[in-house]
Amino acid sequence: MALTSMQRPAAVPAVPTTTLGGESTRLAREFARARRHSRVVRLLKLGLPVFAALIVLVGVGVTWLARAMPENLSLASAGIEDGRIVMDGPRIDGFDKSNRPYSMSAERAVQAIDGSGVDLEGVSARLAVSNDLSVDITARGGHYDAGTETLLLSDAIHVATSDGMTIELSRATLRPAAGTLDGEGPVAIRTATQSIDAGAVSVSENGDRLRFSGGLKMILQPRSTHAAGTSDDDLASAQN
């Protein structure tokens, strides 16, 4: 069986038997390919750096956003408004150091101008104080700094615990992961049998430790009358 001499590896371009005509068409084709090639090269020369810069930019943007927004953040929607990221319905769920859940959400969050976190509107947060007791905190305004996981509440703050205690204060700094809350401004606490008015309050160890300072006035209602709510002093009116 004779080795067919015409067999050669496919990679080698077949040298076509060319006529003069064929020769010119090949030349033209080669020339067109070269021109195309150089255009591609010119394009790449220009495009590649731009493309690379774009990648870097996106990378930086994403990391900044990720750093500013904690990973356990979910959003209803996000957009850009006059150069600042606006998020609708942001919600952060996490666990504090004793593994109790906390969640924080807002109607709207706008990236703070100084870029160190977000300004919030319509804030609500829930902290677990113990396994069967939780605290709900709402405020009209606030600022959340993901770096220090600190939520600063500033406008019409209302705190209510699941066992009937309410706290009013004008400013509060909340670190749910550390389980602390520091409140300033006239602090007014009302429970069924107690009313506490103080200059400032600080809660730590998830509610195991409380410190009232700046002057304190506490009224302890005896168990019996509080149900009837008949006591005529201001406490009764403060409760409803």
Partner 1 sequence: QGFGQNFGGLQVSGDQPIAIESEALDVDDAQAVATFTGKVTVSQNETQLVADRLVVHYVRGAEGGAKPSAASAAPGGSGQIERLEAAGNVRVRAADQLASADNANFDMKSQVVVMNGNVVLTQGENVAEGCRLTIKMDTGVARLESACGGGNQGGNGRVKMVLTPGQGAAARN
Which residues of the chain form contacts with partner 1 (CB under 8 A)? Answer: 129-130, 132-133, 135, 161, 163-165, 167, 189, 191-194, 196, 198, 203, 205, 207-226, 231, 233, 235
Distance of closest approach, residue 99 Cβ to partner 1, in angstroms: 17
Give the number of other CB atoms < 10 A from CB of residue 144.
27
* 206 touches 157 (CB < 8 A): no
CB 121 within 8 A of CB 141: yes
Taking the C-alpha atoms of residue 189 and residue 164, their distance in angstroms, rounded to an integer, is 11
Q: What angle do CA 111, 113, 118 make, to 5 degrees?
A: 30
Q: 194, 203 in Cβ contact below 8 A?
A: no
Cβ proximity to partner 1: between 124 and 231 the closer is 231
Please report how close the Cβ of residue 125 comes to partner 1 at its closest, in angstroms: 16
Q: How far is the CB of 133 from partner 1 (least distance, A)?
A: 5
Which of 144/212 has CB closer to partner 1? 212
Nearer to partner 1, 46 or 227 (CB): 227
SS3 157: strand
| Shortest CB 173 distance to partner 1, Å | 18
**Minimum distance from CB of 101 to partner 1 (Å)?**
17
Indicate the residue among 115 and 215 with the shorter CB distance to partner 1: 215
Query: 173 or 194: whose CB is closer to partner 1?
Result: 194
Taking the least distance from each CB to partner 1, the nearer of 45 and 223 is 223
Residue 26, strand partner residues:
none
Q: To 10 degrees, the CA torsion angle through 205, 209, 213, 219?
A: 140
- Give the three-class secondary structure for 178: coil
Angstrom CA distances, 165 to 51, 193, 199, 201, 239, stand at 58, 10, 18, 14, 10
| Min dist. Cβ of residue 120 to partner 1 (A) | 25
